[in-house]
Amino acid sequence: MTRVPNVLKLVVAATLIAGIASEEVRAQTSRLDASGNVREDSYIRIPLSVADQKYAAIDGGRMKDLVREVTQISLANRNDETRYWGRIAGTRGEEMAREWVEAKFRELGMVDIHTQEFDLPTQWFPGSFDITVEAGGKSYSFESLVPALRSNATEGTLDLEAVWVGTGSTADFHGRDVRGKAVFIHSIPAPGSMGHSAGAGWEGAIRRAQDEGAAAIFVIYGISDNFTIWQGLGGGITVPGAFMGYADGDVVKELIGKGQAVRVKMRVDIERRDGLKSASIFGTLPGATDEDIFVLAHLDGYFQAALDNASGISVMISLAEYFSEIPQAERRRNLIFVGTAGHHVGSPGSRWMHDNRETALANAALMINAEHVSVRQTVYWGPEMRMTDIPSPRRWWVNGSDLLTDLVLDAYRTFGVAVWDHIEDRAAGEMGSVARDLPSIQIIRSPEIKHTDQDIPEWIPEAGLEAVARAYAKIIDEVNTLDRSALQPKQRISGR
């Protein structure tokens, strides 16, 4: 590590004080990249112990390259008209991600590489849409404004009076007539989470708007930036609706705040596509016994989907690369890697494992789900959500013995994988349906950028990718010193 001499720090400080363009500062520091951001290789990393030196082969820079390769697949499937693009389940984008994973499996010399296909139920896609806000003789259209995921089409073009209800509490709705109008709700995200206040189980404002007779519902998502998000309005919402970003929503708020007449013209076509298919891809690094360890990562995602789930795919491939270098005789168990099908449309791949657990999981010792593993902690600074240089702590899940739980948490601590203070009561995400069928582990983080156009590689810290993959590698090594009986959760006492 190079230390910055004090004299240089003074030069840097003096340059900043003088207000000179930071070009010169960059030239003098090895800690900032060309954009003036803290370099990824300057992030906090826990030094490896002598015993863990072997995990140095798992490298965050290499892992970030894998993330970029997967996000490139999304960019190749961009659609600027509907803005519904990425590695969308049932489309070429998801299929290309599967082909990319399959090619990696082949390069690594895996055996029993095969796909498992699923028929998808009728799938929702936005057709063409045209939504404008009209006020003071001007017409406004907004880049972040897209129909809500799985929302209904309009009957022709709606022409509606706009009404602002703040965050949409009962107090906001009190004495306000929203019947037949376009209701604008400002939804506050839980900082660090894609959960937001207008949804069910929180303020319930979307539901309230429909119950009060709204003709259309507009949800302004966030307290910063201008995210385009693919997000549903919630169960039972049948009126058409849309999401828009904070900055665009602010424009509507200002227009309504002037007291002038504000109207919304809204036409949304929806396509329902039948006959689409999704598939999981399997590859195996054979071990010395007939017992199995599964590593899952879901393939599909919205927009670039760097966190959700190029980050998990990168961990899966990196584990495969690492263990492919270990002689088969020293790999106690088969490592079965699965890029799973259609996560955002019902997870048929992992559901199949649950439905066929008596056979498919008969010899399973452990399942690891690699999903949303490494994202920068966010901070809000004015109307901007800022990135920090530390991976955000994750929710975590272990289904297994106390021994397994300790072993897993010790590995997280060893490599600096921060987690929440308490285990989740269920495994969120792709592994949800199958997690209780066998010893299973995961960490997962779902921040504000999830399902938005901002789920880009810049949000994914190399140091976090590396720490998680190293921790999972060590967990696999340690689990392979234990018999399956030592990993199983305690039997539930009957009647509880």
Which residues lie near Zn ion (CB under 5 A)?
308-309, 371
List, in sequence order, the alpha helices (H) in 416-461: none
Tell me the residue type at 480: N
**94, 116, 278, 103: CA torsion to nearest 10:** 10
Q: CB of 143 within 8 A of CB of 184?
A: no
CB-nearer residue toward Zn ion: 308 or 462? 308
| Residue 451, token pair as written in the block | 């399902």
CB of 344 to Zn ion, least distance (A): 7
Q: CA 214 from chain center: how many Å? A: 31
In the complex, least distance from residue 192 CB atom to Zn ion, rounded to whole angstroms:
16
Spatial CB neighbours of 298, under 8 Å, sequence gap ≥ 6: 309, 312, 339, 340, 343, 347, 349, 371, 429, 430
**Min CB(73)–Zn ion separation in Å:** 16
Number of Cβ atoms within 10 Å of the Cβ of 149: 18
Closest to Zn ion by CB, 160 or 353: 353
CB of 337 to Zn ion, least distance (A): 17
Question: 309 vs 318, which CB is nearer to Zn ion?
Answer: 309
Alpha-carbon Rg for the chain in angstroms: 25
Nearest distance, CB of residue 343 and Zn ion, angstroms: 6
Contacts of 239 (CB under 8 A, 6+ apart): 152, 209, 210, 214, 215, 216, 217
**C-alpha distance from residue 174 to each of 165, 166, 208, 212, 326 (Å):** 10, 12, 11, 11, 66
Between 147 and 301, whose beta carbon lies closer to Zn ion?
A: 301
Residue 466 Cβ vs Zn ion, minimum distance, rounded to whole Å? 20
Cβ-proximal residue to Zn ion, closest one: 308
Minimum CB distance to Zn ion smaller for 311 or for 318? 311
CB 473, min distance to Zn ion, A: 22
Q: Which is nearer to Zn ion, 296 or 335 (CB)?
A: 296
Q: Which is nearer to Zn ion, 148 or 431 (CB)?
A: 431
Measured distance CA(317)–CA(207) in Å, rounded: 42
